[in-house]
Amino acid sequence: MQATMVNLYGPVAEDMILVEDLLESAKQVEIPPLKRMLDHALEGRGKRLRPALVLLAGSFGDYNLNRLVPLGTAIELLHTASLVHDDVVDGATSRRGRPTANAVWDNALTVLLGDYMFANAAEMVTRTGSIEVTRLFALTLMKMTSGELDQDAAAFDVGKDIQNYLWRIGGKTAALFANATEGGALLAGCDPASVDALRSYGYSVGMAFQIVDDILDYSGDEELLGKPVGSDLREGTITLPGLLLLERYPRDNPIKKFFTARRGREERLQEAIAMVRETDVLQTSMEMARQYVGRACEAIEILPDTEARRCLHGLGEYVLERQS
């Protein structure tokens, strides 16, 4: 087990191997082409942050791994399936330095792969035996899809504001984090106040996670990110740093010039990235992420002072400090 995993997830780190085992079992299918595609999609292990949040939330009640592990695995499958579909929509050829499924196979096959993984996740969550958690999972998928639809429909639209952005990432990203912590708490039989606290924590950490992602898209190291800097803007997605730049410099704005340019678009894109870096919009964006982490940590103050709660505090700091 990686030392990083132990440091981040403390009391549940050892149990994360059960999530890995269940994910491995999801690859065992009888159709060889599908198995190859599942192997590819699930090969990059990452930090498995969302399943870890399920287990950490569950530790505040009846820590029943027979129920918590299927939910954590289902949420990881849902997350991965959404990335598979996103890559098709964006025409992305790499993610985290690895070829995307649609770069290896065609778009039609990759969409079917994502569909299979969504169905697999839905089946997995029914193993929790909880109708309430299964319904929450379905509602989360609806929120994620709504957020993604809104983002794609707003491509190259400079008329959207920060409030719309926050609503969008609340569905696209934060809803799944909230599902992890709320679902874990519900399965553990936590009292309503604890469930609310953990849901608020997950949502706020998810908001911070996406804001930091959007900051890194302008300021990160391309090798660590596994994609070019400015990828979102290149696809027409204006995230928080870009929205702040448009708000503060409405005239002669390089983002507007990039969107309307017929020639020299790459040059205009680099001008926009440079202006974002040279102004204070990245610092302002990071301050907003810190505020969300602050809200997350404040929400769980009602929970017992356990190692799990200290891990949740530490994960908030990790979200702010990560570089990829």
When pLDDT is cut at 50, 70 and 90, the band that residue 45 belongs to is low
Mean pLDDT of 194-200: 98
pLDDT at position 245 is: 96
Residue 48 has pLDDT above 60, yes or no: yes
Residue 308 has pLDDT above 80, yes or no: yes
Q: How many domains does the chain have?
A: 1
The Cα–Cα gap between 300 and 241 comes to 29
* CATH number of the domain within which 23 lies: 1.10.600.10
Neighbours of 112 (CB within 10 A): 14
When pLDDT is cut at 50, 70 and 90, the band that residue 314 belongs to is very high
The predicted-structure confidence for 68-104, as pLDDT tens digits, reads as follows: 999 999 999 999 999 888 888 777 776 776 778 888 8
Mean pLDDT lowest for which of 103-107, 188-192, 210-214? 103-107
Alpha helices in 63-104 (DSSP H): 65-90, 101-104
The predicted-structure confidence for 237-283, as pLDDT tens digits, reads as follows: 999 999 999 999 988 899 999 999 888 889 999 999 999 999 999 99
Long-range contacts (CB closer than 8 Å, 24 or more residues apart) made by 82-90: 82/114, 82/144, 82/148, 84/41, 84/110, 84/113, 84/114, 84/117, 85/111, 85/114, 86/148, 88/114, 89/148, 89/152, 90/235
Mean pLDDT of 274-293: 97
Residue 44 has pLDDT above 70, yes or no: no
Mean pLDDT of 149-167: 91
The predicted-structure confidence for 215-230, as pLDDT tens digits, reads as follows: 999 998 887 777 788 9
pLDDT at position 1 is: 43
Q: Which of 37-41, 45-49, 85-89, 171-175 has the highest mean pLDDT?
A: 171-175
The predicted-structure confidence for 4-37, as pLDDT tens digits, reads as follows: 777 889 999 999 999 999 999 999 999 998 999 8
The answer to whether residues 65 and 40 touch, using CB atoms and an 8 Å cutoff, is no
The percent of residues above 90 in pLDDT, for the chain, comes to 74
pLDDT at position 3 is: 44
pLDDT at position 264 is: 85
- Beta-carbon contacts of 151 under 8 Å, excluding residues fewer than 6 positions away, are 168, 172, 237
Residue 319 has pLDDT above 80, yes or no: yes
Domain of 22, in residue numbers? 3-321
The Cα–Cα gap between 228 and 89 comes to 17
Average pLDDT value for the chain: 92
Residue 167 has pLDDT above 50, yes or no: yes
